[in-house]
Structure 1
């Protein structure tokens, strides 16, 4: 009996130890990294985006590939398992597209945590939201929109296509809009807001219950979804 009690105690203690370790691993998750060659082949990212709150990977894919040439950063994406894609109704550039389903890119030149960065959103209807963000606290406090960039001035080439339960698209972002880094180093993150239920109201908006807030490099924002966490942006190297 003594051996049995000791074994039970060991299992409980060992299980608790594992739980603590796994929790610690989650909160210290490494930032994503990607290296591409200028004028080289496109590179495919990890398709299993992660929840912004805790870094847990989802069981459906968001396929993203990136490529660079002297004028543009090219991004191709495919948002799979989207049962409610036809319910997105925003069509005007620089409207608050983030209230419904979008694919997003945050990017800035340099390796340092980004206090100023470019934010681009595209929705299934091929509408764009483009702005530069001022985030001096690196997400500890609220960020502000620095400059809203008019669609005609941005020079972004873009397209989207809606299919049954999915949508996909392409973005070609001018380097002159991003700002080139002399050493080919950038901070970047990719995001997806995905509806997880049908909406009766035509003017529906996403919240933490009705939508998934997903990241390539999880922001590990805790209780509430949040994308503007520059310390958690991934690293992009262009050789």
Structure 2
């Protein structure tokens, strides 16, 4: 991969699943902590995502709402102010979706810095990429892909919808895929890759010049964008 990103497959939703209205959530949590009540209200995180390189907030919004029940972790998102959303052309699950625009989730059980975690990507065409990551040096060296998870095996319910200059979607991730922590403690981060310019070639690929690589909790990776920095993952508590 040109940049560190995510892996994980999902099952296309054939029936309606949990609907989260992003306009009716609890107060936004601006820090690196998310506190949920299982089967309780959903919570919005800070919509001002930040550059992965230096932590500077971008001037467009990424709305994210999160909710838990006994079976799933539900995540709804809105990727706003995206003028080039129609240029995303990948439609096959587990293709290298991270080469174009995606919304991503990294998550692992426990509250320690994550050396092994689940990576999930969804693109505007509702394609998914799912896998498990091995990162023993916590980002000091290159992480490796432990394995891909077949779309039919992941059990993730998902959808994505494009509009004129934005896209939105939702994912219901099975807790059995994440792994339950007995104390309800998890590490988590949300990411977005957003194109900044038109791409005349059909097989275009994002890079640091043409796309933004942004995070809920900035990875502060320095000169080059990088998402796989577990020390910078946020903290999720589910009571």
Give the whole-Å Cα distance in 1 for the aligned partners of 2:147 and 2:71.
Answer: 22
> The residue matched to 2:161 in structure 1 has which SS?
strand
Is the aligned partner of 1:182 residue 2:191?
no
For 1:212, the equivalent position in structure 2 comes to 212
* Conserved 8 A contact 1:31-1:233: no
Shift of 1:47: 0.4
Q: Which structure 1 residue ranges, 5 or more long, are not aligned?
A: 1-29
Give the whole-Å Cα distance in 2 for the aligned partners of 1:226 and 1:59.
Answer: 20
Shift of 1:220: 0.2
Matches within 5 A, 1:110-149: 110-149=110-149
Give the whole-Å Cα distance in 2 for the aligned partners of 1:54 and 1:223.
Answer: 8
- Give the number of the structure whose alpha-carbon radius of gyration is greater: 1
* Conserved 8 A contact 2:31-2:46: no
Shift of 1:50: 0.2
Shift of 1:31: 6.7
Give the whole-Å Cα distance in 1 for the aligned partners of 2:214 and 2:77.
Answer: 14
* Conserved 8 A contact 1:188-1:236: yes
Kindly indicate whether structure 1 or structure 2 has the higher relative contact order, using CA contacts under 8 Å at least 6 residues apart: 2
> The residue matched to 2:153 in structure 1 has which SS?
helix
Q: Which structure 2 residue ranges, 5 or more long, are not aligned?
A: 1-29
Number of equivalent positions: 210
> The residue matched to 1:56 in structure 2 has which SS?
coil
Give the whole-Å Cα distance in 1 for the aligned partners of 2:66 and 2:31.
Answer: 18
* Conserved 8 A contact 1:219-1:226: yes
Runs of 4+ in 1 over 3 A off after TM superposition: none
TM-score, normalised relative to structure 1: 0.87
For 1:35, the equivalent position in structure 2 comes to 35
User: Which digits, 9 at most, give the CA deviation of each residue in 1:87-145, with x for residues without a partner?
Assistant: 00000000000000000000000000000000000000000000000000000000000
Shift of 1:59: 1.0
> The residue matched to 1:103 in structure 2 has which SS?
strand
Give the whole-Å Cα distance in 2 for the aligned partners of 1:31 and 1:145.
Answer: 29
Shift of 1:227: 0.1
Matches within 5 A, 1:1-239: 32-239=32-239
TM-score, normalised relative to structure 2: 0.87
Aligned Cα root-mean-square deviation (Å): 0.9
Structure with a larger share of its residues in helix? 1
* Conserved 8 A contact 1:31-1:232: no
* Conserved 8 A contact 1:46-1:216: yes
> The residue matched to 2:176 in structure 1 has which SS?
helix
Give the whole-Å Cα distance in 1 for the aligned partners of 2:125 and 2:95.
Answer: 12
* Conserved 8 A contact 2:50-2:218: yes
